[in-house]
Structure 1
Amino acid sequence: MRFYPSSFIVKNLQESMFRKYSPYIKGNVLDVGCGTRPHRRYLANAGEYVGMDENKSVAPDVLGSAQEIPFPDAYFDCVLCTEVLEHLPEPEKAVNEIKRVMKKGGILYLTVPQEWGLHYEPNDYLRFTRYGIKYLLEKNGFRVEAVERIGGIFSLVGDRLVDVKTHIVTRILKPFFGLRSAENISRVLSFPASLMFYFLGKIGDGIDKRDAICWAVLAVK
């Protein structure tokens, strides 16, 4: 069984954190590993937005790798890099490439997982503590302004339980409705549980602040 960190719980926690820091994202913005561009709608203060991904299927603005960004030095005012570094065997290369294409004083908004299960296999290499990601960025010339937790133990357990339920229901329904319809039905059936665990997480995640689904970092070049 493979778990994908894409449930209602995680998405809402991530979006809430990004909205908090989105006012700092201004000027020309590069979204490294943009995927379906979930952050773009919150960038009211941004100028040019460039979504870059190495996956052709998401139709990025630019096809490219985080470890070899196809832009000149000091080109962007801000860079977004969310849930990307864990998929790179040598994340330091990507950190240096991001720094290279940023202007001096530019802003980096980055998120990395600490407690997620395996996902997007086999390209899933690393997990980070708050100290590990801070060290990696500072070692390579960034000034870390903030490191904040996204989700805690209650949200994490809830997310896993909902994923298991969704997976089981999908397997049961697949012979009758086909895979895509079965997945859609199972997501609808799992939504009440997602909502319950989301609000339980709001209360229970504060019990132990060392546990995190992932970490959000704001850093300056």
Structure 2
Amino acid sequence: MAGMRRLLPSGLYKRLDPFEASIEMFVRNVAAQIPPGKRVLDAGAGEGRFKSFFAHTEYVGIDFAQGDSSWDYSNLDVIGRLEELPFPNLSFDHVLSIVVLEHIPQPGRAIEEFRRVLKPDGMVHLVVPHMWEEHQRPYDFFRFTSSGIRYLLEAAGIRIRKIQPIGGFFWQLGRRLMGVLSFTQGGWRWLLFPIFAPVFGLVLPLCCYYLDTLDRDRAYTLGFIAEGWKQ
């Protein structure tokens, strides 16, 4: 999908991968609402994808730096475990953690650490997956329901602001259909790519993007946005 993002117009790509587009919109909105000079911890920052969004803040990116061997972790400010954050109490105004908690063996412990380093009334901003393929193995441990992430946040002393599903059945189906293209890579299977790509990589995912308004229950969502305050 990263390669497609470079090749396709942004409007088209956002419809083919609405989950990633929703994440980017969410993080941009979070950043826009934070006043200059506030301290922001990006917990599980990876390659620092969101660092530029927080240029007006005191941004700190931390990651264990072992999830993906192809990633460049050189832009991290700190390498460390989220279950044992190397920061004093009351260090940050906001904690951001985007599609990270599934890679933590003790996600509840990580959220407790988020709360510990937050200042009073500080905010946690999370995205967690619900219906996803395995990735970054062997560091892929969990998937989350809305009830599950609510329980973890409240148990850690975080007062819920919102838990919002990211898409429904058809966005999830569109992602699965795009996944068909992964079976057309290597050897003779590349011959299938020009046959499958227009259907599974364009037409059907686009249809799924627009059909998603039919699913009002959102039980088949790809993941959840969750936010809350330190109590």
User: Could you say if the C-alpha distance between residues 142 and 106 of structure 1 is closer, same or farther in structure 2, counting changes exceeding 3 Å?
Assistant: same
1:141-194 superposed Cα distances (whole Å, 9 cap, x missing partner): 1111011111222111111221221x233324899xxxxxxxxx99xx679935
Deviation readout 1:111-139 (Å, 9 max, x if unpaired)? 11111121111221111111110111011
197-206 or 141-150: bigger deviation: 197-206
**Structure 1 residue 78, shift from structure 2 partner:** 0.4
Whole-angstrom distance in 2 between the partners of 1:39 and 1:206: 32
2:205 maps to what in 1?
A: 197
Q: Is residue 157 of structure 1 aligned with residue 173 of structure 2?
A: yes
Task: Kindly report the root-mean-square deviation, in angstroms, between the aligned alpha carbons of the 2 structures.
Answer: 2.9
Aligned-partner Cα distance in 2 for 1:61–1:216: 25
Amino acid at match of 2:128: V
Q: What does residue range 118-197 of structure 1 map to in structure 2 within 5 Å?
A: 118-165=134-181, 167-172=182-187, 193-194=201-202, 197=205
Q: Which amino acid aligns with 1:133?
A: I
Q: SS state of the match for residue 160, structure 1?
A: helix
Contact persistence 1:9–1:197 (CA under 8 A): no
* CA drift at 1:76: 0.5
CA contact (8 A) 1:152 1:201 kept: no
Could you tell me which residue of structure 2 aligns to residue 182 of structure 1?
none
Rounded to whole Å, the distance in 1 between the matches of 2:203 and 2:119 is 41
Structure 2 residue runs of 5 or longer lacking an equivalent are 6-15, 67-71
Task: Indicate the SS of the match to 1:110.
Answer: strand
1:220 equivalent in alignment to 2:229: yes
Structure-2 separation of matches of 1:192 and 1:174: 15
Structure 2 residue corresponding to 1:63, chosen from 72, 79, 84 = 79
Deviation at 1:22, TM superposition (A): 3.3
Assess, with a 3 A threshold, how the Cα gap between structure 1 residues 206 and 49 changes in structure 2: closer, same or farther: farther
Cα deviation for residue 195 of structure 1 reads 7.8
Normalising by structure 2, we get a TM-score of 0.77
Counterpart Cα distance in 2 of 1:16 and 1:202: 18
Q: Give the structure 2 partner of residue 93 of structure 1.
A: 109
C-alpha separation in 1, matches of 2:137 and 2:160? 30
Please state if 1:51 is matched with 2:67: no
The equivalent residue for 1:75 is 91
Question: Which residue of structure 2 lines up, in the alignment, with residue 210 of structure 1?
Answer: 219
Equivalent residues of 1:9, 1:194 under 8 A apart: no
Structure 1 unaligned runs (5+)?
A: 1-5, 176-184
Higher relative contact order, chain-length normalized (CA < 8 Å, sep 6+): 1
Contact conserved, 1:149 with 1:212, CA < 8 A, in 2?
Answer: yes
How far apart in 1 are the matches of 2:49 and 2:206? 19
The farther-off stretch of 11-20 and 97-106 is: 11-20
Residue 209 of structure 1 deviates from its aligned partner by 1.8
**1:41 and 2:41 correspond:** no
